[in-house]
Structure 1
Amino acid sequence: MITVHARIDGRVVEQPLGLGDPLPPGTVWIDLLRPDESERAHVGALTGCDLPTREEMKEIEASSQLYTEGEAIYMTSPIIARADSPHPEQGELTFVLTPRHMITVRFNEPRSVTTFAARTMRQPELLAGRRARCSACSTR
């Protein structure tokens, strides 16, 4: 499933993205949840990013969790979903940061992603887009 978060008129709008659909204007975050090969390839073609497969995300070594390809920065991290349940799930979450978009690729549903998505609806400045200054790295 592909979900797009776009800034429109100062607010964040969340909508599904179908195969073959173009990115809506104002798209700043593209979230892929359990993407199949065609969804992964579609978003890769739209953004110019080589998105990792589930197998690649699982096999990544600690020394390769953060890397760059072209203008994109990739970071894969282990995550826990359903941590408060009797059966927590371990998985991986890949972030891809480009000058125009943030892309997330995941195969489980950690609460942190859902919480962040809900926060962006209340605080659209969290998804300020490519012109925003990154306070963590002091770059544009």
Structure 2
Amino acid sequence: MSQPNSFEQSTLEEMEQIIQVNLLAAILCTHRLLPNLKRSSNPRVVYMSSLSGLDNSGAPEVANTASKFGLRGVVHALRECLREHRIPVTSLNPGSIAAEIAYEAGAEAAIQTYDSRQIPMQDLVLLVRCLRQLSRVSCVKEIDIPAMSDRYA
């Protein structure tokens, strides 16, 4: 018996909400924060995209994949828009994240719970902290972060 197609089962409202949250909200937040970013001594914009937003990811979730693919396009366009202000814009593209495990529980709890198949949130926090410590001269465009068990690793 074949699996039901989640695209066919998705409602228009569900798909619109995914696109609103993953794409439009990110654009609007950056637009509103732009005056503060321009005044900052070392500004940086970091978006959380996904491996599903990469070419040929094989991800079957239509709205999520489209929104994450679109978010990467936003990152590339914003990088050009904000270049004159020396505001780097980065896309982090992780695979599955162990978001259900409390951060305070630590990376090992996430690793053990998901048998090393999902990325501990602590790893993503470390990457963002690293990006924040770079000067505004450095622009990291994208970082792809698959779990070692992902086919992209």
Q: Same fold (TM over 0.5)?
A: no
Q: Please say which structure displays the higher CA radius of gyration.
A: 2
Question: What is the TM-score normalised by the length of structure 2?
Answer: 0.27
Question: What is the TM-score normalised by the length of structure 1?
Answer: 0.28
| Greater fraction of residues in helix | 2
